[in-house]
Amino acid sequence: MSVVLTTSRAFSSCHAAQKILTDAGHQLKMLTPQKPLKADELIHQVKGVSAMLAGLDEINADVIRAASPTLKIIARNGVGYDKVDLNTAKENNIRVTITPGANSLSVCELAFSFITGLSRRIHLMDKSVREKSWQRVSGIELHGKTIGILGTGAIGRHLAIRCQSFGMRVLAYDLFPSQELIEKYGVEYITDLNVIYSQADFLSLHLPANNETRHMINQSTIAKMKKGAFIINTARGELIDDDALYIALKQGYLGGAGLDAFVAEPFLDERFFELENVILTPHTGAFTKEAADKTLIIAAEEIVRALSGKENLFQIN
């Protein structure tokens, strides 16, 4: 009997995903940590397991070697895999899979919530009512505004469609433009990021973190943006230089920011806690019941495929 280690809290309540694995004859070893596990925490849990259904845990070379030779697959219940050492996994013949598209709608809806929330300063007015000061704060309409969407994969695509329906002009950057977005929704693809920076009232990030994108939002790029523009990040914290963003928010050059992804989590940079033009959420873009169930079911199915010797649908290494 193969042992499957699960580290997602949501897995404990997803009976459909559990059933997929147990019906296939696998034994479950369920962990329910309050936050993603660090490598030194995982090392003691992986010995003897055949598969991992993992969240945003740190699965480095030491963890993978500790799990070898029994580990056959690391199934991420999400699309990000920067916390997984792909090279070491490949060297040890361990498959790594993701769950593309399963949580894209939920992440998109959070990004759009940041846009509407920041445009009307909802967080400030909620605070004023609770403090009995009854202070109305003037906001802006979205109709006629321009949004720049960097990355039009599943999440960016959903966001473009919703912004267009609100009467926004949608500028987009992607190495592989979507003809559907162009022809059906009037999305304008721009190859020069500087054009998007200079014209966007809102900038929403939906790119992976790599050498090319790390700190792409920095002092120089922020200076090219409109005064009063807003930045939304539901992708990866590495995309933004926090020091440059803080200064721009503190000085009022940027209108605000909605941040759901951070380099270090939990996010402990108290400078941002004092700012009234930023909304912070604890990497919760995919944290809906619907998204959690879909990602866990797909990840469980990938584990069953791997442990039965079949090809995986979403293997990345």
| Residues labelled as active-site residues | 236, 265, 283
182-187 long-range contacts, Cβ below 8 Å, gap at least 24? 185/160, 185/161, 187/152, 187/160
Cα–Cα dist 77/39, whole Å: 18
Helix (H, G, I), strand (E, B) or coil at 315: strand
List the structure tokens of 42: 């995982």
What are the start-end ranges of the E strands in the chain?
3-6, 27-30, 51-54, 73-76, 95-97, 146-150, 169-173, 188-189, 202-205, 230-233, 256-259, 278-280
The number of CA neighbours under 13 Å toward the Cβ of 269 is: 18
Q: Which residue, 175, 261, 177, 181, is CA-closest to 217?
A: 261
In the chain, what's the furthest Cα-to-Cα distance?
64
Q: How far is CA 124 from the centre of its chain?
A: 25
Q: Which burial class, exposed, middle or buried, applies to 128 when counting CB atoms under 10 A from its CB (0-12, 13-18, 19+)?
A: middle
Q: Decide if 56 contacts 80 (C-beta within 8 A).
A: yes
Residue matched to tokens 């990840």: 299
Cα–Cα dist 207/195, whole Å: 18
